[in-house]
Amino acid sequence: MRVIVTLACTETGDRNYTTTKNKKTQTGRLEMRKYSPRLKRHTLHRETR
C-alpha cells in the first residue's frame, strides 16, 4: 500500500524530494519542512499529485 510521492517547495515550486507514504494511514497531503537548495534554508514542502 506504500506509494512514492514527490514533495514540492511551497515558495519556489521546485520538486526537490521524493518519499513514500502509506495511503491507508495518511489520507491527506503530506507536509514536511525540508531544505530548499535555491533559497538555502528550510521551507515547507507539500506532496504533489
4 to 8, 14, 35: CA distances (angstroms): 13, 17, 19
| pLDDT at position 15 | 96
- Judge whether residue 49 has pLDDT over 90: no
Name the superfamily (CATH) of residues 2-48: Ribosomal protein L33 (2.20.28.120)
Strand partners, 45: 9, 32
List of long-range contacts for 12-18, beta carbons under 8 Å, 24+ apart: 12/36, 12/38, 12/39, 12/43, 14/38, 15/48, 16/45, 17/45
* Domain range summary for the chain, segments of one domain joined by +: 2-48
CA–CA dist 36, 14 (Å, integer)? 8
**Tell me, what amino acid is at 23?**
K
Binning pLDDT at 50, 70 and 90, where does residue 7 land? very high
Binning pLDDT at 50, 70 and 90, where does residue 33 land? very high
Q: What percent of the chain has pLDDT over 70?
A: 100
| pLDDT at position 1 | 87
- Judge whether residue 20 has pLDDT over 90: yes
